[in-house]
């Protein structure tokens, strides 16, 4: 399992010392924690990092056995690389979106992917795009790359036009 330094942003305790104090108080009072199936367990059965206090209750955080990848604005799990025969440096992946609730992060358990992800690595940076189709993912990625490299692209692709317009 991949363990990442992650805490549930829905946890009401943002300060670690306050959370430890609240957890110790809950252990002393024999309070219960709920898991995502609705089962109840003594808070003392779990370490403080395994619980989040959300909506007035201690919640057992689900294990998240996947590597999370930030793709633009969305955390995703890359499932499988898609083979392609184009002569580009793009890579494509099937991916699932990561969702969040009071029990932690999760991905849908159906057998379908949520998105297609496109990836382009330069010497300096990695660029990402995603969409429901490969074309959407490429389009978003292409826009991001153009935004980053438009001066270089325009100098080469629009050399004559730039001379005519005096560089405007």
Whether residue 168 is predicted with pLDDT greater than 60 in this model: the reply is no
Q: Are residues 107 and 51 in the same domain?
A: no
Q: Are residues 99 and 30 in the same domain?
A: no
Q: Are residues 108 and 152 in the same domain?
A: yes
CA dist., res. 163 & res. 165, Å (int): 6
Confirm whether 32 is domain-assigned: yes
Say which residues have a Cβ less than 8 Å from residue 131's Cβ, sequence separation at least 6.
Answer: 115, 116, 137, 139, 140
Task: Please calculate the CA angle 11-13-14 and round it to the nearest 5 degrees.
Answer: 95
Compute the mean pLDDT over every residue in the chain, rounded to the nearest whole number: 90
Q: Are residues 106 and 132 in the same domain?
A: yes
Q: Which domain holds residue 33?
A: 16-60
Q: Are residues 44 and 77 in the same domain?
A: no
Per-residue model confidence (pLDDT) at position 87: 80
Q: Are residues 46 and 113 in the same domain?
A: no
Q: Are residues 78 and 156 in the same domain?
A: yes
pLDDT mean over 77-85: 92
Percentages helix, strand, coil for the chain (3-state, rounded to 5) are 30, 30, 40
Whether residue 16 is predicted with pLDDT greater than 90 in this model: the reply is yes
Confirm whether 166 is domain-assigned: no
Q: Are residues 104 and 80 in the same domain?
A: yes
Lookup result for tokens 């367990």: 41
Confirm whether 8 is domain-assigned: no
Confirm whether 139 is domain-assigned: yes
* pTM confidence score: 0.76
Helices (H), 35-94: none
Confirm whether 10 is domain-assigned: no
């Amino acid at each position: 399992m991949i363990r990442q330094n992650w805490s549930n942003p829905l946890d009401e305790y943002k300060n670690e010392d306050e959370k430890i104090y609240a957890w110790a108080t809950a252990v002393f009072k024999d309070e219960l924690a709920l898991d995502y199936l609705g089962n109840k367990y003594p808070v003392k059965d779990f370490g403080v990092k395994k619980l989040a206090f959300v909506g007035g209750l201690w919640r057992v955080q689900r294990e998240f056995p996947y590597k999370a990848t930030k793709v633009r604005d969305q955390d995703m799990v890359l499932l499988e690389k898609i083979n392609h025969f184009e002569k580009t440096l793009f890579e494509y992946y099937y991916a699932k979106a990561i969702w969040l609730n009071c029990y932690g992060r999760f991905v849908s358990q159906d057998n379908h992917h949520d998105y297609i992800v496109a990836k382009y690595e330069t010497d300096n940076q990695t660029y990402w795009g995603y969409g429901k189709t490969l074309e959407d993912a490429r389009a978003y990625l292409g826009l991001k790359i153009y935004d980053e490299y438009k001066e270089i692209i325009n100098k080469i692709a629009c050399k004559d036009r730039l001379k005519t317009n005096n560089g405007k």
